[in-house]
Amino acid sequence: MSKATKGILQMALATVAGALACTLFFLFVVSGAFAVLMPNPSRPQITYGEFPIRVIFELDGEIQTLEDTVIAEFAGFQSLGTAGRFRVWTSRLKSGNEWLTLLRVENEEYIFEIATTFGLPEYYMGDFARRSRQDLEFGLADRRYLGYIRWEDGEITADHTLRAEEVWERYNLRIIEIQHSPSIENTFGWRRFIPRWFLSSGS
């Protein structure tokens, strides 16, 4: 093989190798596909919980109370691309309702509800890996907005938020207090196998 042929062959191999490296970089780094190969985070020790919740509110000058129970449950793991893999939690109300409805109005043309949410399951189950306890507690305490949901002919035609001041002015409705259950003390990974009294004694 001549030197010229050998040089051309080496250049061709280098080009193919470079193209392959770029392709692999895009597939596994830019696209986040490499996250599939990453290990799952630690499984929680407690995977299910029920948390009573009470909403005290005023409607047309009358003080009313709405009570329900939040059910939070571990649902496995999820890949978020380059962000890695995280624990997944689900939540629902024991009543079967989608949200905490404070006002429901029905007429011949449409139905609408004014409602509030009940918090994220990560808070109740003590998982602060993605969001801090402070951020989750702030979300629970935020009373600036309420949900507005409207149906026409059985289909949702509006789903947005209204400022609390607007809800008070238009519907004579305001939240006085929401009494959430506190979050549990959950453990993950190697800490699952150490007695809680031992962990607390070292703090």
Would 196 be classed as within a structural domain? Answer: no
pLDDT digits (tens, 9 = 90+) for 55-76: 999 999 999 999 999 999 999 9
10 with 90, same domain: the answer is no
Bridge partners, residue 85, by sequence: 79
Which residue range(s) make up the domain with 121? 43-187
Beta-carbon neighbour count of residue 44 at 10 Å?
Answer: 19
Cα(182)–Cα(190) distance, integer angstroms:
24
What is the total count of domains within the chain? Answer: 2
Would 201 be classed as within a structural domain? Answer: no
202: DSSP letter: T
3-class SS of residue 148:
strand
52 with 77, same domain: the answer is yes
3-class SS of residue 166:
helix
Largest CA distance in the chain: 97
107 with 176, same domain: the answer is yes
Would 36 be classed as within a structural domain? Answer: no
pLDDT for res 56: 96
27 with 104, same domain: the answer is no
75 with 126, same domain: the answer is yes
Q: Which residues of the chain have pLDDT under 70?
A: 1-38, 80-83, 190-203
